[in-house]
Chains A and B, each alone.
Chain A
Amino acid sequence: MVRRVFILGLDSLPPYVLYEGHDGGGFKYLRSIVEDSARYLLESCHPPITVPAWIVMFTGKTPGELGIYGFRHRRVGMFDYYIINSNYIKYPAIWDEAGKKGLWVGIYGVPPTYPPKPVHGFMVTDFTTPDPNKTYTFPPWLKRELENVSGPTIFDVTYRSEDKDGVARDIRRMINNHLTQVTYLLKRKKWDLFIYVEIGIDRVHHAFWKYFDRRHPRFVEHPEYSKVIPEVYRHIDEWFSSVHNNLLKDSIIIIASDHGVKPMIGAFTINQWLIDEGYLKLKVNTQELRPGTDLREDMIDWEHTIAWGWGGYYSRIFINLKGREKYGVVSEKEYESIIYSLRRDIENIKGPKGDKWYNRVYKPHELYPEVRGDAPDLMVYLDDLNWRPAGTLGWQSRYLPENDRGPDDAMHDWMGVLSIYDPEGTIPRGDLGVMKIGNVRNVIEELLFGRK
């Protein structure tokens, strides 16, 4: 007999919160489930970002095999970037396999699932949906059903704002919108596998982490904002307690995140560093640029540029290779020595007080068995993800106290969580070590098909 599996995906939830109990009292019920679960540290992928991490989890393929290294990608020879969507995923996800074997699936908010693809069951797409007027469900008419229940679907919030009260309100409203829809789907639809990813956890972490985590270098105890994260946790916890007791008693429960979260110490202006080190040459004077100016193609003196970079949660470096790039100057013969120099120089980047940083620099071929799609030449993590690479220009210093895009308290971390609970007690309980995110798909398959 097929056992039902419900997966609660809480984006960016770290072991520090779910396993170590630093939840501000918010996850009472969930932690009782976790106590009786097989608990793993979930090792995220390279890069540890929502896209591609969730789809790595559910396909079992590496980012290299998927050809997905983040939300955006650059075609060789182009400067501008494109954004991936669900059509770029060329491998079946666990829900596709389950559907082929006759199981009913419910997929809610898994990034990136827009535009929605047909499944044996239903699908509601995620925050990469352009707007609620689009067809964001499968079957297409499900959208109307959901909106009758919850009002218009709220896909995301803008959290990089100084209006913290507004941000908190928007996050709560969005999560409530999702919980209403998920409850409806759980009650009314047939399913054997249900996957619900809540992006609001990631948003509240980014917006309020410095008010919550006492380890944060800019920790602030605030009468209202320090309560926001625990209250969001409590909201989800109370909802889960209710649906678990009323609808999910027989189901295997998986609680998972795609990566962890930790304080962002600061941001490092990677392109300004490349300029200072002679790798990147501009036609303009960076001192005359407004802080936060994006690097544009027409700013670059391509004849004298060896490499340029992208910021984000990690940095991608692109070599101005002759024959590949429009204005390439680096020959094939020079390529490896440039890579060597860049790697050496990036690894030697130090902190603002000359403190040693644990910088990691990789060629994609060093990380993945296959490298498809539009991979960068180098992937860079600064000080083990403590510092965010900022791609923008016009800054007075290489070291910025905050994110170059606006208020943001948190960076991602390598370890997320994976806990598996079986009410029939067939799954061993306790701390069972580390599980790589790419192995989770097979675990789900075994739970669905491989158990009698």
Chain B
Amino acid sequence: MDKDKVQISISKELYDKALKFIKEQGGFNSVEELVEFLLREVLTEEERVELSKEDEEKIKERLRALGYI
């Protein structure tokens, strides 16, 4: 196993549901990928206060064109 990874256990029921989900929805290659994605989304919320400079410039330009600025 990759030194940067740890093993966790989840219920078989949940695992089977996740497997069925990714087969139907696509977008993820494995249940591990899905779990990592979801956890990352939830837990890194606090870090995401600022958008990238490029994204912010896009929004500024749009807001200027809309007259909000």
Binding site for B on A (CB under 8 A): 49-51, 70-72, 81-83, 85, 87-88, 115, 117-118, 127-128, 130-131, 134, 138, 140-141, 144, 156, 158-160, 206, 310, 312-313, 403, 405-406, 408
A405:B58 contact, CB within 8 angstroms: no
Q: Which of A81, A127, A312 is in CB contact (< 8 Å) with B67?
A: A312
Report the Cα distance A127→B25, complex, angstroms. 26
A83:B63 contact, CB within 8 angstroms: yes
Report the Cα distance A312→B69, complex, angstroms. 5
> Which residues on A sit within 8 Å (CB–CB) of B62?
127, 156
Q: Which of B42, B54, B65, B68 is in CB contact (< 8 Å) with A71?
A: B68
Task: Give the interface centre of B26, B41, B54, B69 by most chain A CB atoms within 10 Å.
Answer: B69
Report the Cα distance A117→B44, complex, angstroms. 11
Q: Which residue of B lies closest to A206 (CB)?
A: B67
Given A87-B45, A88-B49, A141-B25 in contact, is the A312-B68 Cβ separation under 8 Å? yes
A158:B65 contact, CB within 8 angstroms: yes
Q: Which of A71, A131, A406 is in CB contact (< 8 Å) with B63?
A: A71
The 22 sampled A-B contact pairs (Cβ below 8 Å) are A51-B68, A72-B63, A83-B59, A83-B63, A88-B49, A130-B58, A130-B59, A131-B58, A138-B41, A140-B37, A140-B41, A144-B27, A156-B62, A156-B66, A160-B65, A160-B66, A312-B68, A312-B69, A403-B67, A405-B67, A406-B67, A408-B67
> Could you tell me the distance in whole angstroms from the C-beta of B27 to the nearest C-beta in chain A?
4
B17 sits at the interface (CB 8 A)? no
A71:B49 contact, CB within 8 angstroms: no
Q: Which of B37-69 contact A (CB under 8 A)?
A: 37-38, 41-42, 45, 48-51, 54-56, 58-60, 62-69
> Which residues on A sit within 8 Å (CB–CB) of B27?
140-141, 144
B69:A87 contact, CB within 8 angstroms: no
Report the Cα distance A117→B59, complex, angstroms. 19
Report the Cα distance A379→B51, complex, angstroms. 27
